[in-house]
A and B are shown apart, each in its own frame.
Chain A
Amino acid sequence: MQNVFSRPKGLTELPFHYCPGCTHGIIHRLIGEVLAELNIIEDTIGVAPVGCAGFSLDFFSCDFVGAAHGRAQAVATGIKRALPEKLVFTYQGDGDICAIGTSHAIHVAARAEKITSIMVNNAVFGMTGGQMAPTTLDGQITTTSPYGRDCNVVGSPIDLPKIIATMQGAAYVAAVSVDSPKNILAAKKAIKKGFQVQQAGLGFAFISILSTCPTNWGLSPVDSIKWLQQHMLPVYQMGELKLPEEGRNHD
């Protein structure tokens, strides 16, 4: 019998622990496929965040380091500077990279740090139980914005890819989503480019991925996808926000 579908080599055999309908699993698989297709599993060191994806270090088959909350990009910088020939990526939630980790997000881009960062944006803090994040939408109800986010009081959502795209050291910035098969394929392409940009030594690569949190949104998996499409896609700028300049040479 022909094997038409199997677990990518970039993932370990360990079953995911994520909630039903959570899109971490899809994103994990995409990264696992990219690691295998680029044949870089043995040359890659990942950095895990704090939050639901804190256990991602068990799911990928490359070496992995667990960072403190928000610090993954600083840790990745240390790894990359020590091992410039290896590939280093961070996997972070929006609560991790857009709140406590903001300064590191800005400065890895400023330094053109040759790492790849993947942000999984579900508009809430997930593991702690659905609190308001910098990415929470206007009017969105969370446990710490029980009457809905009031932008007059706490400001508007941060669109981090847009900020990072303005920075010279950011070689590749993409904002993608995993709400449909078409978008999932586009997300995989972006992730792959993010690693290839690092391989070419062009600078910092940043991929933001819109994601769901059925548990904390209080919605079914299917309704969560609809909510993402109705509420998140119109707010966050999507697409490839920055591409490496043709023939740009940093050497």
Chain B
Amino acid sequence: MDKRLIKGNEAIAEAAIRAGCKLFFGYPITPSTEIMEYLAKHMPKAGGIVLQGEDEVASINMCYGAAATGARVMTASSSPGFSLKQEGLSYLAAAELPVVVVNVNRTGPGLGGLGPAQSDYFQCTKGGGHGDYRLIVLAPSKGQELYDYTMQAFDLADQYRNPVLILADGFLGQMMEPIEFKERPQLELPDKDWKTDGCRGRSKRKIASYALTNEIGEAHCLYWQTKYMQIKEDEQRWESFYTDDAEYLLVGYGTCGRIAKSVVLHARQQGLKLGLIRPITVWPFPEKAFAPCLNTVKGIVTIELNAGQMIEDVQLAVQCKMPVHLYSRQGGMLPTEGEIWEYVSRVFQLTPPEEE
């Protein structure tokens, strides 16, 4: 077993190499730069290419070109740079090109700071560019998941011909943890019979996203939505932690999901029935995870590193059948287990059961 102590960003990069990614186009931005640095060092040895573009706009469009040839390709950035990639992501979604994109979320708006944040949730899950499109968005909560989800992202991208986003944060990207380098799973993936790699021995192909006739435009939109509905049905992923008998739930993804686990364990030690739903896909949002809890859970607290964004998806998922509260820290601050517990126990008036 190949296990090493490395940074989260490096785990993403190593997974990309082992997933067969052959091209990386990027532009430096803290706290995601180690992804490109690691690949610049190791990808050429694996027969791949790393090219630093003139900016994030160039990088995402280079990904567009490389993906059009059928190659596995990735780019990575952090919030301000991720904003610049939105134009390209809209075109990639429209042209149905499989690209893996990483956003190591830092704080915003504007230049913000370098600390961990989840303030890009809306941008990442609702489509940050123009038009009705969706990215599949995977939200790892620890180093090993950065590796595992990146590996899965390439397969999902090829399976659905859609860009897939790894949504991490500055804390996950910078932290060193022991990572097991698992091998790429052998999956049956569709043939790339759409790729533009020169028309030798076949008729010409084109990849484009325009539809200047409204009727054709609507047909395109309906097709894309059919695909997104399929993804919504088949790809919702989440982790349920002590939810079977839970009376109260925490909901948190990524770093927040990880901290929330300790809060749940703390409550359980006191005999209090607290559980956690940790979304793994934040798009599609795992609404199915909430179905069993709709009539048994008395209240929910979402833990977020923003002013309250995912809470809207939680409220929709529970159909407003119970109160949903927000505990949030912003601007790069992380909550402690104790701070979350203090808030949760106060808002739900939780006291340990009397000793019999």
Contacts A44-B198, A107-B58; is A75 near B64 (CB within 8 Å)? yes
Whether the pair B55, A43 counts as a contact (CB closer than 8 A) is no
Q: Which residues of A are interface residues toward B (Cβ below 8 A)?
A: 12, 41-45, 47-48, 54, 57-58, 60-68, 71, 74-83, 86, 103-104, 106-107
For B90, the closest partner residue in chain A by CB is A68
Contacts A43-B200, A83-B69, A86-B197; is A74 near B208 (CB within 8 Å)? no
Contacts A74-B61, A82-B66; is A45 near B208 (CB within 8 Å)? no
Contacts A47-B65, A57-B208, A78-B64; is A71 near B57 (CB within 8 Å)? yes
- Determine if B313 is an interface residue (Cβ-Cβ < 8 Å): no
- Determine if B259 is an interface residue (Cβ-Cβ < 8 Å): no
Interface segment among B37-45, B46-54, B229-237, B291-299: the answer is: B46-54
- Determine if B327 is an interface residue (Cβ-Cβ < 8 Å): no
A-B contact pairs, 14 of them (CB 8 A): A43-B198, A44-B198, A63-B205, A65-B68, A66-B208, A67-B64, A67-B91, A79-B65, A79-B196, A81-B49, A82-B22, A82-B65, A82-B71, A82-B73
Q: Which residues of A contact B5 (CB under 8 A)?
A: none
Partner of B206, one of A63, A71, A86: A63
Interface size class of B (residues with CB under 8 A): 35 or more
Nearest CB of A to B95, in Å: 8
A61 to B196, CA, bound (A): 12
For B65, the closest partner residue in chain A by CB is A78
Q: Which residues of A contact B95 (CB under 8 A)?
A: 66
List B64-97 residues whose CB lies under 8 Å from chain A.
64-69, 71, 73, 87-88, 91, 95
Given contacts A75-B64, A78-B64, 12 further A-B contacts (CB under 8 A): A12-B204, A42-B200, A63-B196, A64-B205, A66-B207, A67-B64, A71-B58, A74-B53, A75-B62, A77-B58, A78-B67, A104-B61
Nearest CB of B to A149, in Å: 28
- Determine if B63 is an interface residue (Cβ-Cβ < 8 Å): yes
